[in-house]
Amino acid sequence: MSTQSTTNSSILKVENLTKHFPVGKGRDKKVVKAVDGISFELKAGETLGLVGESGCGKTTAGRTLLKLIEPTAGRLIFEGQDITDFRTGQMTKLRAQMQIIFQDPYSALNPRQTIGKIISAPFEIQGVTPPEGIKTAVQNLMARVGLNPEHYNRYPHEFSGGQRQRIGIARAIALKPRFIVADEPVSALDVSIQAQVINLLEDLQEEEKISMVFIAHDLSVVQHISDRVAVMYLGKIMEIAATADLYAKPRHPYTTALLSAVPLPDPRSERTRERFILTGDLPSPINPPSGCVFNTRCWKAQDKCRTEVPQLLQLGASQVACHFPEN
């Protein structure tokens, strides 16, 4: 977990960010509401965990934040500058400050390029030549993420999954970015390797004061690394709160259900605690439920939930989008 900047200034403001994908043709043309109006602020040096079920729009949201996918609507303000309508050329200059760590370490690296070539790509694209030279800078980055600098000329297939993810991290931090989206960076790794990669990300963030959106569906990983947590469901944010507050006292029924699915280390507590089991599958983002999108699976749903969309409002230490939140 990071130590936030003393200035507490926002590095990223997201206002009603929306991404809809058209599907079908003619009369059958419909829209997939992958991200449907999310808003939040990210403080300098802060880690925001973004959690939710598979298919809720986490990855699309992360890529839209970086404009790897163009938003349908909404505003993105990075370091006080509105970048929503920036074109490719303008974004290229900003890429040095905004980076991504991809989910799959096997497909994120070009198998035909050496590790040295892969990690040096940001320097070449941005036209930056470090004082010590590109090769030395790359080898320093390799050592920093726990790789042997002598493996500079090796290819991705010669490394394990955990090592490949370290290569991806080295590439992301090469130009000392201010903001990183980590898109489920440990979901494809073994548990023991997950801990190493998470600790590496924490150390790098502490040293460089990087702001991070950490996307995951493993709530225990998010609890360990995040300052605040945002819970997504069907393209919308259900709840945002400081990590300790959200895990100790979830306000939204969906957050309560997610946390009740996390096993407790104490067998006695595990057997006696109350469980909230969601019935049914995640509705289709092509045709989401009216009103609150969670109403079809919520045990607290009433008529108001089926007709009125709840707004994300402040409730104690949390922001909650629910008509009947937990007290």
Delimit the CATH 3.40.50.300 region(s) of the chain. 10-97+175-320
Look at residue 268 and tell me whether its pLDDT is greater than 80: no
What's the CA angle centered on 35, arms 33 and 41, to 5 degrees?
160
Cα separation, 211 vs 121, whole angstroms: 22
Q: Which residue has the tokens 């990075």?
A: 78
Q: What strands, in cross-sheet order, belong to the sheet with 47-51?
A: 98-101, 179-183, 211-216, 47-51, 228-233, 236-242, 318-320, 313-315
Q: Do the beta carbons of residue 52 and residue 58 sit within 8 Å?
A: yes
Look at residue 272 and tell me whether its pLDDT is greater than 50: yes
| Cα dihedral: 124, 130, 133, 138 (round 10) | -70
Question: What integer pLDDT is reported at residue 189 of this predicted model?
Answer: 84
Cα separation, 193 vs 205, whole angstroms: 18
Cα separation, 13 vs 44, whole angstroms: 11
Closest listed residue to residue 210, CA positions, set 56, 42, 25, 70:
42
Question: What integer pLDDT is reported at residue 1 of this predicted model?
Answer: 64
Question: What integer pLDDT is reported at residue 7 of this predicted model?
Answer: 47
- Radius of gyration of the chain, Cα coordinates, nearest whole angstrom: 21
Write the pLDDT tens digit of every residue in 142-155.
999 999 999 999 99
Helix axis angle for 115-126 and 134-144, nearest 10°, is 120
Question: What integer pLDDT is reported at residue 26 of this predicted model?
Answer: 78
Mean pLDDT of 40-68: 94
Does domain 10-97+175-320 fall into CATH 1.20.58.220? no
Write the pLDDT tens digit of every residue in 184-235.
998 888 888 888 889 999 998 888 889 999 999 888 889 999 999 999 999 9
Query: For residue 184, what are the contacts with CB-CB under 8 A and spacing of at least 6?
Result: 58, 59, 103, 215, 216, 217
Q: Do the beta carbons of residue 172 and residue 100 sit within 8 Å?
A: yes
First-last CA distance in the chain: 27
Q: Do the beta carbons of residue 33 and residue 77 sit within 8 Å?
A: no
Give residue 33's identity as a one-letter amino acid code: K
Question: What integer pLDDT is reported at residue 8 of this predicted model?
Answer: 61
Least confident range of 39-43, 58-62, 299-303:
299-303
Closest listed residue to residue 213, CA positions, set 27, 17, 28:
17
